[in-house]
């Protein structure tokens, strides 16, 4: 089932605070910490500032907030950074796509959602399998993968052609000029950050974090 998608209207004020983190588990004293990683790839958080919201804008946000059950729900978030640039978005490097679901590798095509929206598919666009780039066009009519601008779930979608279907032992990552998509995200706060009764607030900040 496709996830809900965070509303693109009203627009937050861009650029805004975007940060990345990698959770760890740690032990030992401060002068000799011993740590282990809990993620292989970056997770992101954003703080979306809204100004001059009309009552209708606020209702749109509240409707979405309620539709996912507040901080309980998981939804898809498409980043707004670089939304007014050409090409749209910014260059994102080494974003996690998937782990393959095939043990054989040569059983036809395979389709995955990319964490990208409006990606520019040119020389800067790179797909990696276990850190090694998979060339798109090998020449001689061998196209190893194709990228759809609007896939089934409303984001860029990659189709691996036979025999390049990723294996269960392969991690797929992407580098692309695009609007970054959090394929799964949630609200951080359990409280809707705007005042709804008079005087209702036209200004506020919604915090969203990536989950996996």
Partner 1 sequence: MTYITDHAGDASLLKWRLLHLDWSDDDGNVDFRFTDCDVPLRYDSQTWDVRAFTVGSITQSPTGPSCTFSIPDADQELFPQLSDTNGAQGRMVLVYEAYFASDNATNTPTEVKQIYAGRVVTTRKNTAGGTDTVEIQCGPPTTTDAVEIPPRLYTSLVRAA
Contacts with partner 1 by CB under 8 A lie at 24, 32-41, 43, 96, 99, 128, 130-132, 168-171, 212
The C-alpha atoms of residue 201 and residue 59 are separated, in whole angstroms, by 12
Least spacing, CB of residue 85 vs partner 1, in Å = 30
Least spacing, CB of residue 72 vs partner 1, in Å = 9
User: H or E stretch including 131?
Assistant: none
The C-alpha atoms of residue 83 and residue 77 are separated, in whole angstroms, by 14
Of 88 and 99, the one with the shorter C-beta distance to partner 1 is 99
Beta bridge partners, 133, equal: 128
Of 52 and 132, the one with the shorter C-beta distance to partner 1 is 132
The token pair that represents 67 in the structure block? 């539709």
Of 88 and 171, the one with the shorter C-beta distance to partner 1 is 171
Least spacing, CB of residue 74 vs partner 1, in Å = 11
Least spacing, CB of residue 128 vs partner 1, in Å = 8
- What are the helix and strand counts (H, E) for the chain? 1, 14
Of 26 and 86, the one with the shorter C-beta distance to partner 1 is 26
Shortest CA distance to 185 belongs to which of 44, 16, 23?
44
Least spacing, CB of residue 9 vs partner 1, in Å = 31
What pairing do the DSSP bridges indicate for beta strands 132-134 and 126-129? antiparallel
Of 129 and 179, the one with the shorter C-beta distance to partner 1 is 129
Least spacing, CB of residue 194 vs partner 1, in Å = 24
Burial classification of residue 80, based on how many CB atoms lie within 10 Å of its CB (0-12 exposed, 13-18 middle, 19 or more buried): buried
The token pair that represents 201 in the structure block? 């607030």
Of 71 and 88, the one with the shorter C-beta distance to partner 1 is 71
Integer angstrom CA distances of residue 69 from 4, 9, 61: 11, 19, 12
């Amino acid at each position: 089932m496709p996830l809900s998608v965070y509303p693109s209207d009203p627009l937050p004020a861009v650029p805004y605070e975007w940060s990345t983190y990698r959770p760890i588990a740690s032990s030992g004293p401060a002068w000799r910490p011993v740590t282990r990683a809990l993620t292989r790839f970056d997770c992101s958080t954003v703080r979306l500032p809204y100004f001059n919201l009309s009552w209708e804008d606020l209702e749109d946000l509240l409707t979405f907030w309620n539709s996912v059950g507040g901080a309980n729900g998981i939804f898809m978030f498409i980043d707004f950074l670089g939304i007014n640039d050409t090409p749209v978005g910014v260059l994102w490097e080494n974003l996690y796509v998937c782990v393959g679901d095939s043990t054989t590798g040569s059983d036809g095509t395979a389709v995955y959602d990319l964490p990208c929206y409006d990606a520019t598919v040119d020389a800067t666009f790179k797909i990696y399998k276990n850190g090694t780039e998979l060339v798109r066009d090998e020449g001689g009519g061998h196209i190893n993968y194709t990228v759809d601008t609007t896939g089934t779930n409303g984001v860029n979608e990659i189709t691996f052609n036979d025999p390049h279907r990723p294996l269960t032992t392969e991690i797929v990552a992407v580098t692309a000029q695009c609007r970054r998509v959090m394929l799964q995200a949630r609200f951080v706060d359990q409280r809707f950050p705007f005042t709804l009764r008079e005087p209702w607030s036209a200004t506020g900040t919604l915090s969203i974090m990536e989950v996996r």
